[in-house]
Each structure stands twice: as structure tokens, then as C-alpha cells.
Amino acid sequence: MALSHLAASASRSSSLLKPLSSGLSLRRSISGDNSPLTVETSVPFTSHQCEAPSRSVETNPKELLTFFRDMALMRRMEIAADSLYKAKLIRGFCHLYDGQEAVAVGMEAAITKKDCIITAYRDHCTFVSRGGTLLEVFAELMGRQAGCSKGKGGSMHFYKKDSNFYGGHGIVGAQVPLGCGLAFAQKYSKDETVTFALYGDGAANQGQLFEALNISALWDLPAILVCENNHYGMGTAEWRAAKSPAYYKRGDYVPGLKVDGMDALAVKQACKFAKEHALKNGPIILEMDTYRYHGHSMSDPGSTYRTRDEISGVRQERDPIERIRKLILSHDLATEKELKDVEKEVRKEVDDAIAQAKESPMPEPSELFTNVYAKGLGVESFGADRKEVRATLP
Amino acid sequence: MGFRNIIGRRLGLGLVRRRKPFSTATCDGDGNGNAKSINLYSAINQALHIALETDNRAFVFGEDVSFGGVFRCTTGLADRFGKARVFNTPLCEQGIVGFGIGLAAMGNRAIAEIQFADYIYPAFDQIVNEAAKFRYRSGNQFNCGGLTIRAPYGAVGHGGHYHSQSPEAFFCHVPGIKVVIPRSPRQAKGLLLSCIRDPNPVVFFEPKWLYRLAVEEVPEHDYMLPLSEAEVIRQGSDITLVGWGAQLSVMEQACNEAEKDGISCELIDLKTLLPWDKETVEASVRKTGRVLISHEAPVTGGFGAEISASIVERCFLRLEAPVARVCGLDTPFPLVFEPFYMPTKNKILDAIKATVNY
């Protein structure tokens, strides 16, 4: 797959190496700078009912290095979650995002924390990109108090109110009408923000999606529906479930854009374009062509419905982290060793977070009853015979 | 005689069997002929094989059923009967049930699978407003009696909010459909075949915890068990316990413990929740004077409430103690708190003793 080609600014960036490398000897991590860099996306965008944005993406070394670090962190986090699950420290369901990191990272780069994101259950990395800490992630996965949902949600229910991350939903497709509702509130409040409602190729066949699309288009809501198309709805390939796997066209009267979801810069460009579009013209669909290396969840080996060759093929050709690594190296923004150091650092961070999360206690038994209703409108609890022990709980 | 993990033992002792006018079943579930020891999902699989074999207008469809389903209940069906009769649907529960109603309305047997009962709610409108009322509102011109909806329900130890729910109470509130819940492999095969052949739309909830755990001798031939007939699976004289599905084995353990304290418990498996067999339960309560109902679903508005109200109506003067309900708590089905939420053996035992000593 075609990577970037060096633009004229390459010569500029090499002259900046000196200050970069001198900075390196002081700090433990490379930070890069903001000098502009233009990179071409891997493939051009395909559009439906709108003008596709340009293939040339404005970026800078700092951003690329941040992309690398963030994606490496997410990758390491997901793999660690895999081991924790197998060690039975994480129970229940666990849906891993490795392979799809570029979508989370690219989207975040194009928007602010005031914009809302809502997604389905494959939410660990989206949570992190919204500012969630590793401790909150691992504690929540293990059902501990330090988790983002106080241990009551688990893998599928991560939320972060202060950065407008509306989670974390178990029922397929149900989050999309919700997302459009968020967009409606944003339009009402006139604060120039948008909502990204993410869903998968499996959910694209849910009726409620079309209801949400119709309403959003009717009322010109700043809603961006993002289909993270990893080509498999659990074990069902997209061509078996959908008459038209061109999900970006499914909106019919709603414009759409197909994006290479393994290219963080393409994702960033598309999201920036979508935000501008949504604020002016109402809803737009983004289809992110992406891939997950793991199976649907930890109970799915992921190899009964696709070949190992396919998985390793994608890993070799389209891996989002490798793409950024090659970009960084070809532009001389960092050395191979420095990138490896970042990965080592990230690994340590993840291990430390896990150790800390393990220290966190399980929620108190009384937490079983909290937050069923708003505080004060109590839930009653009875002893086994309903006669003696009776308490009104928070 | 617990029926979880039993191998080579036959259940069905103490059967109370009475023919009802609206039951369509032939009762041959006593294991005449060859019986093999199999688990719940295999029993359901057998029932589906027989259903498709004996009626060439029967179809099985749902998410991922083609390769065998996430619980293996539909293994081998696609290979044997072909893709035209056993096929996958896209991820759309409302569409699946609506489609099934249409198929059934044309006289076919539509056996729809909803992957987890927790996901049945998008189809709730179709079931309640379309399936249940079709015969009624068309003055019997049309009906979707050939529709059977199967869904795994209930706690499984680590399911959390959306893989553990017991939604039977919502459907018991809808005249026009039937709700059936088996407790064991042999029951499941017979009941499922009855449901499929029943001329009314049926929602069949399968206790997912028992898919592998429950093993029983199941006859290999075609047999049906009657709907709307409760079964007394343990005779007793001090208190009547009423339950269904996976909860029965927990109740049975409580009964065994209570017996050590000299309390003789009668245990009834309701089997069909709508329309439910009031006569059998009433007869038992007239004998014992006490009743305890247990289910995993939250206590408020659970089906136990209906049973309690009906029994009190019918047996008020005979009752020696208030009707006890040992059920799930009034919270969403929790994640880490599952052991606290569930109506466990000890909670039931506690309630048995309190009721008997009232």
C-alpha cells in the first residue's frame, strides 16, 4: 500500500534535526515540534453525495510522534488485557480493539474534548484517546473501584463525562439514536460542537440506525455516524450480512465518505472534514475501512471465519502503527532506537498501571444498590423472608 | 436428586399429568425406546432436527445459526436441510421476528432464534403488537401460530448486564403468545417440539447456564410434552415451591437441605408460564398451605407476583403464611455483584424456614 511521499518540506525537517536531537538527550521521550509537514493518505477518499477532501494531510512531527506513542500504548494495553483475561483477572466479556487504533487516534486529533463521542462495546482505546488513564481502564476491566465506572460497568461500559465520552454500550446499534440525540442537544446549545456516533458493520443493519439517520437529516443535526467497518460482524463476513457493504452510501440522501481506517492521518482528515460539514449541512456518514486482529471477543479465537493469512497479511501491509513508524523514519523525525524506546516506555506504563489496578479493591457490596435511581429515590432491599431486614438504600 | 450434572439418571418421577383441552401434546417422554445421555444444547439440536425433518415447511433462522450457533443448538441443520431452510439473518432482531411472523402467516413453521434474551427488546413490538394479536384482530382469518422464538436466557456466572437477563415477565403480560421454559434436556426436547407444533406463537426461553451443565437421558425419537401443564417434580407436605428453568436446581438443593431440618418440600416446575397451570399449583397449596416462588428476574413485577396474587385469590383461607418470593434484587443485572443479586440456595432455605415457622 502506498505510503507517504516526501513533500518539499522534507528538506526543512532535516534541518530541524539538530534542535530535536539535542532536546532528546535531556528528556526521556521524544516530542518533536510543530513545523508543518504534508503527507498523502494511503488511498484517496471515496465520497457519496459530497466532495471528497484532499488527499494531502497537514501534520507535524509532534503530531506524528504523538500518534505513534498513543497507538503503541493502545496496542500494548489491549494485548495486556488479553493476558489478564486469560489469567481470569478480567471476567465477563472483553472486546479488543487492536488493529483499529488509528480510528480512535485520528478522530481525536481532528476534534476537541467538547465534541461528543459515543461508541459500542469495543471502547477501551476510544476511552483512552478521550483522556482516560490506564489505571481507570485496567481497574474497570477487573471490576475494581478505581475503574472509570467504579467497577460496575466492566469492559463494555467505559464512560468519561468530563471529556464528553458517552461510552460504552452493549446492545448493538442502540448507541446511534442516542448519539443523534446528543447532536440535537449540541445544535440547541449552539456551541459549534458535533457528535461522533460509532458503530460497526454488523450494527449497520439495525433498523434504529436508519431511524436515527432520517431524523438527523430532517433536523440538520451535527451528527457524524462513523461505521468502523472491520468486515466481520462477530463471525459473519460483511458480504453475508449486507446487501450493500458500501456503508458510506447507506445514508442515501445523507452524504458519506469512505476512509482508510488504518491510516491515522486519513482518519484525521476525514473527521476534520466531517466536523465542518456537519456544523454547516447536517449529518454525514464516515466509513472507516479497518481491521481487528483479535476475534470479536475473548471467547472468539477469530480464526474460524477468516484465514490466518488474511490476518497476518493485514498486519504486514496495513498495520497503523507500522505506517506511522515508517513515516517517522522516512522523514527522519526520530531514529529506530528512539521509537523502540517509546515502545518500551509504554510497556512499562502499562505494567505499572496493571500493578496499581490490582491493588484497587472491589466495590463495596452496598454499591450493588447505588445509582439504580437518582439519589434519594431509594431502592428497598429485603432480607430473604421479606419480613425482617429492611433498608432503604441510596 | 439434583438434575444438574446428573448422568444416567432419569427424571420424571412424581409426574402429575392431566390432559388439558388446549394441549396439543402426545405424552411419550418416559424414555421408551433408545435414550442417550446428552446435554441441553444437544437435546435442543435434536428437537430442531426432528422438527425440520417432519415438516418440510419448517425454517430455522437467526444470527449465526448456520454454522451451529453461538451455543451450538443449531449444529448440522444447515448441512442437512440446506441453506434455503436454515439461514443466517443480519443483525436485526426486529427484522428477524417481523420476518418470522410473515413466514408463519403463510402457514410455515418459522423457528426464529434471538441470540440472547437480552437482545429481544427491539423485537418486543413485533411480538406484542403483531404476533400476539394477529389472530384476534383478523377475526381468525390469519394467524402466525407457526412462529416459535427461541432465546437463551438467565445468569451464567459472568454475563453481566446484557448476557444474563430473564425477561419472561414482560412476555407473560401478553395474551396471545405462550411462554415456555424447560428445566432439563429431556424436558427441553419435548417442550420445544410441542412449541413448534403448537398453533400459537410461542416464546421459548432456554436456560443458558444449563446448555452444557445439564446432562440427562433423552429418548432419541420424536416426542412431545404437554404445554400448560405444571409438573410436581418432588412430593412434599409442608411447603410448595414453584419455579422454572435453571432456578429449579437451586431450589432443589434448598429442598434437600430443608429436609435435613424435617421440612418436607413439594417442588413444582411450571414449564409453561403463559398460560400457566393454576390447578396443579393450587392443588399443591391446598395440600401444604404454604408457597414460595423463586426466579432470577427482579422481584418487583416478576412472574412470581402473578402466581402469588392468583394463589392468594384462590387459596386465601387455606394459606398458613404469606406467599414468599425469593427472587433477583430490584437492580439491573450486575457485573461483579452477581453472587449477591442471585436468589441463592441459602436465601431460599432461609425463606422456607421463615414461611414454615410463621
A323-372 pLDDT tens trace: 999 999 999 999 999 999 999 999 999 999 999 999 999 998 878 877 87
User: What burial letters (b/e) apply to B39-74, b meaning 16+ CB within 10 Å?
Assistant: bbbbbbbbbbbbbbeeeeebbbbbbbbbbbbbbbbb
- Chain A residues near residue B67 by CB distance under 8 angstroms: 235, 304
Is the whole-model pTM more than 0.90?
no
Q: How high is the pLDDT of residue A374? A: 73
Q: Which CATH architecture has domain B231-356?
A: 3-Layer(aba) Sandwich (3.40)
| A234 closest CB neighbour out of B64, B160, B163 | B64
3 state SS of B27: strand
Are A63 and A112 in a shared domain?
Answer: yes
3-state helix, strand, coil in chain B (%, to 5): 35, 20, 45
Measure the CA–CA gap between B24 and B191, rounded to whole angstroms.
Answer: 11
Burial label for B141, CB within 10 Å (0-12, 13-18, 19+), is exposed
Measure the CA–CA gap between A142 and A229, rounded to whole angstroms.
Answer: 28
User: What burial letters (b/e) apply to A337-376, b meaning 16+ CB within 10 Å?
Assistant: ebbebbbeebeebbeebbebbeebeebeeebbbbeeeeee
Q: Could you give the percent of chain A with pLDDT greater than 70?
A: 87
How many domains would you assign to chain A? 2
pLDDT-derived band of residue A1, with 50, 70 and 90 as boundaries?
A: very low
Are A149 and A217 in a shared domain?
Answer: yes
Burial label for A161, CB within 10 Å (0-12, 13-18, 19+), is exposed
Measure the CA–CA gap between B347 and B351, rounded to whole angstroms.
Answer: 6
Q: How high is the pLDDT of residue A337? A: 95
Are A61 and A154 in a shared domain?
Answer: yes
Q: Quick: pLDDT tens for A141-184.
A: 999 999 999 999 999 999 999 999 998 999 999 999 999 999 99
Domain assignment present for residue A14? The answer is: no
Task: Decide which of B30 and A30 is more confident.
Answer: A30
Q: How high is the pLDDT of residue B11? A: 38
Q: How high is the pLDDT of residue B20? A: 33
Q: If you average pLDDT over residues A242-260, what whole number do you get?
A: 95
Is the per-residue pLDDT at A228 higher than 60?
yes
**A390-393 vs B58-62, strand pairing mode:** unpaired
Are A353 and A290 in a shared domain?
Answer: yes
Has B173 been annotated as catalytic? no
Measure the CA–CA gap between A42 and A322, rounded to whole angstroms.
Answer: 13
Neighbours of A237 (CB within 10 A): 14
Domains of chain B by residue range: 3-219, 231-356
Domain assignment present for residue A22? The answer is: no
Which of B49, B63, B93, B266 does the annotation list as catalytic? B93
Are A233 and A271 in a shared domain?
Answer: yes
3 state SS of B291: strand
Domain assignment present for residue A24? The answer is: no
* Spatial contact of A129 and A163, defined as CB atoms under 8 Å apart: no
Domain assignment present for residue A201? The answer is: yes
Q: Which phi and psi angles does B178 have, rounded to 5°?
A: -115, 150
Contact criterion met (CB < 8 Å) for A91 and B158? yes
- Chain B residues near residue A363 by CB distance under 8 angstroms: 336-337
For residue A158, the domain's CATH number is 3.40.50.970
Q: How high is the pLDDT of residue A373? A: 75
Is the per-residue pLDDT at A61 higher than 70?
yes
CATH of B3-219, one of 3.10.450.50, 3.40.50.300, 3.90.1150.10, 3.40.50.970: 3.40.50.970
Q: Could you give the percent of chain A with pLDDT greater than 90?
A: 78
Does the CB of A202 have a partner CB in chain B at under 8 Å? yes
Query: Which of A74, A136, A92 minimizes the C-alpha distance to A360?
Result: A136
Are A356 and A369 in a shared domain?
Answer: no
pLDDT-derived band of residue A383, with 50, 70 and 90 as boundaries?
A: low
Are A234 and A382 in a shared domain?
Answer: no
Q: How high is the pLDDT of residue A369? A: 76
Contact criterion met (CB < 8 Å) for A386 and B159? no
Is the per-residue pLDDT at A17 higher than 90?
no
In one-letter notation, the amino acid at residue B228 is S
Q: Any idea which of A237-241, A313-317, B123-127 has the lowest mean pLDDT? A: A237-241
Contact criterion met (CB < 8 Å) for A240 and B88? yes
Is the per-residue pLDDT at A123 higher than 70?
yes
Are A357 and A386 in a shared domain?
Answer: no
Is the per-residue pLDDT at A391 higher than 70?
no
- Fold match, B3-219 / B231-356: yes
* Spatial contact of A136 and A186, defined as CB atoms under 8 Å apart: no
Measure the CA–CA gap between B349 and B251, rounded to whole angstroms.
Answer: 8
What are the per-10-residue average pLDDT scores of chain B (358 residues)? Answer: 39 36 42 82 97 96 92 96 94 93 94 96 95 93 94 94 95 96 97 96 97 96 96 96 97 97 96 96 97 95 96 96 94 90 94 94
Query: For A201, which residue in chain B has the nearest alpha carbon?
Result: B91
Are A377 and A294 in a shared domain?
Answer: no
Domain assignment present for residue A21? The answer is: no
Q: Tell me how many residue pairs between chain A and chain B have CB atoms under 8 A apart.
A: 102
ipTM over 0.85: no
Q: How high is the pLDDT of residue B356? A: 95
Q: If you average pLDDT over residues A121-127, what whole number do you get?
A: 96
* Spatial contact of B182 and B188, defined as CB atoms under 8 Å apart: yes
Measure the CA–CA gap between A184 and B163, rounded to whole angstroms.
Answer: 31
Q: How high is the pLDDT of residue A324? A: 95
| A154 closest CB neighbour out of B329, B330, B335 | B335
Domain assignment present for residue A252? The answer is: yes
Q: How high is the pLDDT of residue A316? A: 95
- Sheet of A223-229, strands arranged across: A46-48, A256-260, A284-289, A223-229, A195-200, A116-118
Are A303 and A373 in a shared domain?
Answer: no
Is the per-residue pLDDT at A26 higher than 50?
no
Has B93 been annotated as catalytic? yes
Q: How high is the pLDDT of residue B13? A: 36
Structural domain boundaries, residue A381: 364-393
Q: How high is the pLDDT of residue A392? A: 60
Q: If you average pLDDT over residues A302-320, what whole number do you get?
A: 94
What residues have CB less than 8 Å from A325, skipping those under 6 apart? A68, A339
**What is the residue-averaged pLDDT of chain A?**
88
Are A374 and A248 in a shared domain?
Answer: no
Query: For A380, which residue in chain B has the nearest alpha carbon?
Result: B330
Are A309 and A183 in a shared domain?
Answer: yes
